[in-house]
């Protein structure tokens, strides 16, 4: 499978290199890597997780927080669902705001009782990390010069450096859970991979504040001034977003300016209930749709953000990563316990069918809810007409709800 990657220049062939062997080497200690490690450990499969950042850095990343049922079930299967069920906020619907009025999408009624849960990705990562530590399973943090080798052979290897010491891990498989900028996808020969990408001409300005949420469920707002999202992390912590041009600088957005603009994009009732306060985190995130094909290269597999990125509008990123991990964990378990390659051979195709469905929904929802200046005033009218159809059509509303709560794992199979 292509040409294997040569050793990093930081390494030598010195006999002092420390070597070890595991069944699976997992690159990346974000939620996908930690979840995979937890599922494998509970099945008796030996896995080492290697992360280039520090534990505090990993936990400090503020990300999405809407979990589909599939993800909740996986966290339960991994034995880390207790705090999620205790502290997570179950949502049976969400509001779509356009032309100054809110309309509720009743997820439970439209999908036969399905719900989502608001529980921050940071908390998911913390729960998985704590469980791994409690079980005495090893994670290498602050690893430098991580490189993958010979993944097109039966004897893949991972090399890294910690504290000036060089390490080499021999393994049966490599799981690339190291994100969009990680080493795994970057190490695949260019002729063996196809990348699809759409970069949107705007970003999300996000603010996290210790204030009560403006509403008990999420509000997705389509406004002539641009998109807004009212979200939450708990009953006392809120997360808000504004669509802004990519040229905007963070320093030009004071807290006061943010709250003033948010009010202008909300309906009167939401404005009246909005509680403002100092931001405890503020950032501008670009939006992109990105997919890599395939997701398997010999004995190396990509999962989560290493293989695909979705705009956050549909809350699919973490949930897609969890689905990848479910498929990959099952495939590896089948290989080690049943000596079957069927799961690993079908991993990429199985994941990508689901990935493209989620990418389509996220692209569509983003296109529907955001302001595209190049489309002019008629573009806004088209969006409002489609939104009006969706909330007054049982079929339209059901399609939105089914995609939002997450299509069944066996949907269309």
Of 160, 200, 241, 404, which one is the catalytic site residue?
404
pLDDT of residue 16: 67
Please say if the pLDDT value at position 269 is more than 80.
yes
Please write the tens of the pLDDT for every residue from 367-382.
999 999 899 999 999 9
Of 167, 282, 308, 316, which one is the catalytic site residue?
316
Interval 245-254 mean pLDDT: 96
Using pLDDT thresholds of 50, 70 and 90, give the confidence band for residue 5: very low
Percent of the residues in the chain that have a pLDDT greater than 70, as a whole number:
94
Residue 312: active-site member: yes
Residue 323 · residue 305 · CB < 8 Å: no
pLDDT of residue 126: 95
Of 91, 167, 282, 308, which one is the catalytic site residue?
91
CATH topology of domain 91-116+200-287+371-405: D-Amino Acid Oxidase; Chain A, domain 2 (3.30.9)
Enumerate the domain spans of the chain: 18-89+119-196+289-364, 91-116+200-287+371-405
Of 200, 213, 312, 326, which one is the catalytic site residue?
312
Please say if the pLDDT value at position 100 is more than 80.
yes
Using pLDDT thresholds of 50, 70 and 90, give the confidence band for residue 62: low
Residue 57: active-site member: no
pLDDT of residue 65: 83
Residue 316: active-site member: yes
* Torsion from C-alpha of 234, 235, 237, 240, nearest 10 degrees: 90
Q: Which residues pair with 240 in a beta bridge?
A: 207, 230
Place of tokens 């529980």: 119
pLDDT of residue 11: 40
Please write the tens of the pLDDT for every residue from 112-127.
999 999 998 899 999 9
- Written as six digits, the tokens of 382 are 């088209």
pLDDT of residue 120: 87
Interval 217-241 mean pLDDT: 95
Residue 91: active-site member: yes
Interval 232-252 mean pLDDT: 94
Of 119, 220, 335, 347, which one is the catalytic site residue?
220
Using pLDDT thresholds of 50, 70 and 90, give the confidence band for residue 3: very low
Calpha distance 249→375 (Å, rounded): 24
> What pTM value is reported for the model?
0.91
Please write the tens of the pLDDT for every residue from 324-368.
999 999 999 999 999 999 999 999 999 999 999 999 999 999 999
Interval 50-79 mean pLDDT: 89
pLDDT of residue 7: 38
pLDDT of residue 409: 64
Using pLDDT thresholds of 50, 70 and 90, give the confidence band for residue 34: very high
The CATH code that applies to domain 18-89+119-196+289-364 is 3.50.50.60
Please write the tens of the pLDDT for every residue from 186-203.
999 999 999 999 999 999
Residue 282 · residue 371 · CB < 8 Å: no
């Amino acid at each position: 499978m292509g040409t294997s990657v040569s050793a990093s220049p930081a390494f030598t062939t010195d006999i002092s290199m420390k070597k070890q062997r595991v069944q699976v080497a997992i690159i990346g200690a974000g939620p996908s890597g930690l979840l995979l490690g937890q599922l494998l450990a509970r099945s008796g499969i030996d896995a080492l997780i290697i992360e280039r950042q520090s534990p505090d850095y990993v936990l400090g990343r503020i990300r999405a927080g809407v979990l589909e049922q599939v993800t909740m079930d996986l966290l339960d299967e991994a034995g880390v669902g207790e705090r999620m069920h205790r502290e997570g906020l179950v949502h049976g619907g969400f509001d779509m705001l356009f032309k100054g009025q809110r309309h509720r999408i009743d997820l439970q009624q439209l999908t036969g009782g399905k719900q989502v849960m608001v529980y921050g990705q940071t908390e998911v990562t913390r729960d998985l990390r704590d469980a791994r530590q409690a079980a005495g399973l090893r994670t290498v943090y602050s690893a430098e010069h991580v490189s993958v080798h010979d993944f097109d052979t039966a004897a893949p290897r991972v090399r890294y450096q910690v504290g000036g010491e060089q390490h080499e891990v021999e393994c049966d498989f490599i799981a690339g859970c190291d994100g969009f900028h990680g080493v795994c996808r970057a190490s695949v020969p260019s002729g063996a991979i196809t990348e699809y990408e759409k970069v949107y001409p705007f970003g999300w300005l996000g603010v996290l504040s210790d204030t009560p949420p403006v509403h008990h469920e999420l509000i997705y707002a389509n406004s002539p001034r641009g998109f807004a999202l009212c979200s939450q992390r708990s009953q006392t912590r809120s997360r808000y977003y504004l669509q802004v041009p990519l040229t905007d600088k963070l320093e030009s957005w004071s807290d006061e300016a943010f709250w003033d603009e948010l009010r202008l994009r909300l309906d009167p009732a939401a404005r009246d209930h909005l509680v403002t306060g100092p931001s405890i985190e503020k950032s501008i995130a670009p939006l992109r749709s990105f997919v890599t094909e395939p997701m398997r290269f010999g004995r190396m597999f990509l999962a989560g953000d290493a293989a695909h990125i979705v705009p956050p509008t549909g809350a699919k990123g973490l949930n897609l990563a969890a689905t990848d991990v479910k498929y990959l964990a099952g495939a590896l378990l089948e290989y080690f316990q049943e000596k079957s390659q069927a799961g690993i051979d079908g991993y990429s195709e199985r994941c990508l069918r689901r990935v493209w469905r989620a990418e389509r929904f996220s692209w569509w929802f983003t296109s529907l809810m955001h302001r595209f200046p190049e489309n002019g005033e008629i573009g806004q009218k088209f969006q409002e007409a489609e939104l009006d159809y969706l909330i007054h059509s049982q079929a339209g509303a059901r399609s939105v709800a089914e995609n939002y709560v997450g299509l069944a794992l066996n949907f269309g199979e």
